[in-house]
Structure formats: structure tokens, C-alpha cells
Amino acid sequence: MLSYSFDFSFLMTTWPAFMRGAWQTILLAGSSIAIGFIVALVCAIIRSGKNKFASGLVGAYVEVIRNTPLLVQIFIVYFGLPSLGLKLSAETAAVIALVINTGAYGSEIIRAGIESIAKGQLEAAECLGLNKFQVYWHIILIPAVERVYPALSSQFVLLMLSSSITSQISAQELTAEANLIQSETFRSFEVYLIVAAIYLALSVLFRVVLWAIGEVAFVRRRKLRT
Amino acid sequence: MITFSSTHLIYLIEAARWTLLLSVIAFIGGGIVGLILALGRVSEIKALRFLSGAYIQIIQGTPLLVVLFLAYFGLSILGLDIPPIVAAGLSLTLYTSAFLGEIWRGCILSVPKTQWEASNCIGLSRAQQYRYVVLPQAMRIAIPPTVGFMVQIIKNTSITSIIGFVELARAGQIVNNSTFQPFITFVFVAIIYFAMCYPLSLASRHFERKLNVGK
């Protein structure tokens, strides 16, 4: 028989803690996304470049990261690196692991964008007399990122959600906050229901913000539409 | 002082069997629910489309870890004293079904519309259209992304270590607790995960190339 009665009264006192956790998750995920995007961009450029050795190295990095769990990557950074003499705080370790993770996934997405640029575009740009750097920036990189931006955004939202795993090394974020609250209130099910709802709201928020950033960043797309 | 040895490695490999078993459970459970979701998403009935869409949005919008906690604590609220593998299997099924449902929906939609119209003309019912015309073609398209997603399933089983289910990641923690050699232990754990996932990644890419040859 289901004789359980839901009790959300703990929210009266713990709501600020939930909000603090949500804010910490926004900071953690936001900084990981920002740094991770730069890493991804650099890796994608190297990967599609002419240097075989560097490209192979980045390829190996991408394969290793994409075929091992984030949890294990976090453990290696947080528990493993100190034994090699590099001691990190939980938050720093969390950001490093998340950046390494997004860097790998993001670079594969951006690389697909770079490869999708038609050769005719490059020839046309050369005919117009653009120099090498201008061609790379205006004809390859920006249109490539623009084209894969929706996929990139989804990847970033997934990263925000998987940042919950960093609670396992006691990094300050929403899930860690929830673990603390449930150990004080003993209302585990209710606490995680609230947390699920907050994550849902966060993923909508991230989607909207990423969409807005895309609207501002990609001038051409905005102009073509109107 | 205990150091990391072959005994520990064997222990890790044995624990990896639980990772594989859990992955199979998640794939079968998630596959069945995912197919229903995919069909619901392309259904002619609006309510079905809405319900399956909402389910997918909610699961994809919450972290697997939170779903796992909800399954773990939710099932115990029902008064069931359940082993962690049930909560682990349930939450991974929920997670897998939402993603596979969305992947397979895309595959069903990518079957050309003319196929629907042609099979309609020769008088097939909707069920027959699915059975004989649409699903066989969608399945061909679905193989590469589905195999690719299996990698995600295997990797995500590691999260169930958090509720105490002893699979590969948890076994790594146990070994680390006795050897205090986290770096070498978790590197070996990562290598075993890699050995399970990389062949699937390669297979997914191989199928994708094969599929694109015909085009």
C-alpha cells in the first residue's frame, strides 16, 4: 500500500540553498562551456589542419575522452593528479574535467562544420583577394561554427546536466547542495523532485541564452532572415 | 602496503561484466520503450505526440544522476526493499528510451514521404505501412546512431556506482580504497571502459560509411 505522504514544508527554510546550488551550477557549467568552446575550436582547427602529427594527437585525445565515462575522468583529475603532485580544489578539478570533456565533443562537432564548407567558397574568396587569415576566419571558421551551432548548443546543455556528476567529488553545485539538504531533512524523494524541476528550468534557460548568443554572434544569419 | 597488482586488475575486469549486463538491460528496456516513444512522436493522434514529446523533453532536461536518485528513493517509498540494480536498471531504461525515442523518430521521419503515399495507394493499413514499408527502411538508417548511442549507455552505467551498485567504476573506487593509488587504478578503469566503447564507436562509423555508399 502506498501510505507515503508528501511533505514539501522543508522548502520554507531550504529554498535559498536550492537557489545557491542553482547559481553555482550556472557558474560551473557556464565557465566550463566558455573555456571548453575555445579548447574545442583550437582542437578542431588543428584536427582539420595539415600537420599530421598534431592532428593525430588531437584525434587520440578526442577518441579517449569520448569513449570513457565523465565520472572516471573526474576521478582521474581529482584523485589521480594529486598523486602526481598536482593538488586541485574540487571546483577547479570539476571545471578542468568538464572542459576536457566538452573540448573533445565540441571539436568533433566543429570539425564536421569545417569539413562541410564547399571548396567553391574558398576559391571565390581567393578570387576576391582575401588573404589566408581572412579566408580562414570569414569563409571557413565563422560559417562552420554558425552551421553547427544548434548541435553545439545541445552539447552544451548536456554538459550542464552532466555537471551534476561533479557532486561526487563534493564540488559546490546543485546536486551537492541537494545531497546536503536531503541528509538534513530526510525527504530524499521530494528534494530530488525539486532538483529535477530546477535542472529542467536550467536547461530551458541555457537553451534560451545560447540561442540569444547565436542571434547576436551570427550577424549574417540574422540579416538573411529579415 | 598493498600495491596495484594483477589481482586488482582481474577484480576490475570481473566488475566490468556488471557494467555490460547493466548496459544490456538498459538497451533492451530502453529500446522497447524508445520504439513506443518514437511511434508516439510520429503518431496521427495529437495527444500521443504531446505525451511522448513531453516525456522525452523532461528526461533529456534532467541529469541522469537525478533520475537515478528519484528511482532509488522513489522505489523505496513504495515500501519495496529493492537492490540497487533495479533502481539502476529503471533509471537507465528511462534515460535510454528518451534518447533512442528521439533518434528513431528522426529515422522514421527521414523515410521519404512518397513511400507513405505509395503504400497508401496500394491499400496498406497504417500498421502494415509501418511493418512492411517504413520501419524496415528506417531501421537501416537507425543502425549507425543506435550503435553510437550504445557507447553513451555503457559510459553512463558508471553513474550507478553512486548508489552503491558495484560495477566497473565502483570497483575502481573499492580498489583505490585499499591501494591508495588513484591514478593507476582509475587509468586502468578508463582503459577497460575504452576497450568496451571504442569497438562500438568504430562500428558506428563503419555502418555510417556503408549507409552513405548507396547515396
CATH number of the domain to which A20 belongs:
1.10.3720.10
Identify the helix (H) or strand (E) that includes residue A157: helix A142-162
What is the model's pLDDT at position B214?
Answer: 61
d(CA B171, CA A52): 38
Give me the tens of pLDDT residue by residue for chain B, a chain 215 residues long: 678 888 999 999 999 999 999 999 999 999 999 999 999 999 989 999 999 999 999 999 999 999 999 999 888 887 777 888 899 999 999 999 999 999 999 999 999 999 999 999 999 998 999 999 999 999 999 999 999 999 999 999 999 999 989 999 999 999 999 998 999 999 999 999 999 999 999 999 999 998 887 65
- Amino acid symbol at A191: V
Q: Which of A135, A139, A91 has its CA nearest to residue A113?
A: A139
Is B48 contained in some domain?
A: yes
Report helix, strand or coil for A116. coil
d(CA B27, CA A20): 36
B70 to A165: CB separation less than 8 angstroms, yes or no: no
Task: Look up the domain containing B13 and give its range.
Answer: 6-213
DSSP for B83-109, written as a single string: -HHHHHHHHHHHHHHHHHHHHHHHHHH
Is B96 contained in some domain?
A: yes
Is A4 contained in some domain?
A: no
- Amino acid symbol at A64: V
CATH code where residue B148 lies: 1.10.3720.10
Size of interface A-B (CB pairs under 8 A): 118
B67 to A196: CB separation less than 8 angstroms, yes or no: yes
Q: Which of A104, A105, A96 has its CA nearest to residue A77?
A: A96
The C-alpha of B212 sits at a distance from chain A's nearest C-alpha, in angstroms, of 15
Residues of B in contact with A200 (CB under 8 A): 58, 61-62
Q: Is there a contact between B189 and B18 (Cβ–Cβ < 8 Å)?
A: no
Is A42 contained in some domain?
A: yes
What is the model's pLDDT at position B211?
Answer: 86
Is A2 contained in some domain?
A: no
Is A5 contained in some domain?
A: no
d(CA A222, CA A209): 16
Task: Look up the domain containing A52 and give its range.
Answer: 11-225
What is the tally of structural domains in chain A? 1
Is B80 contained in some domain?
A: yes
What is the model's pLDDT at position A3?
Answer: 67
Helix %, strand %, coil % of chain B (to 5): 85, 0, 15
Q: Which of B73, B159, B97, B95 has its CA nearest to residue A192?
A: B73
What is the model's pLDDT at position A57?
Answer: 96
Q: Give average pLDDT by consecutive 10-residue segment, chain A, 226 residues.
A: 74 90 96 97 92 95 96 95 87 96 96 91 89 89 92 95 94 92 88 95 96 88 69
> What radius of gyration do chain A's Cα atoms show?
21
Q: Which residue has cell 535542472? A: A199
What is the model's pLDDT at position B84?
Answer: 86
Is A3 contained in some domain?
A: no
Interface ipTM: 0.91
Q: Which of A181, A119, A155, A217 has its CA nearest to residue A29?
A: A155
A162 to B186: CB separation less than 8 angstroms, yes or no: no
Q: What does the block give as the cell for B177? A: 580504497
What is the tally of structural domains in chain B? 1
What is the model's pLDDT at position A226?
Answer: 55
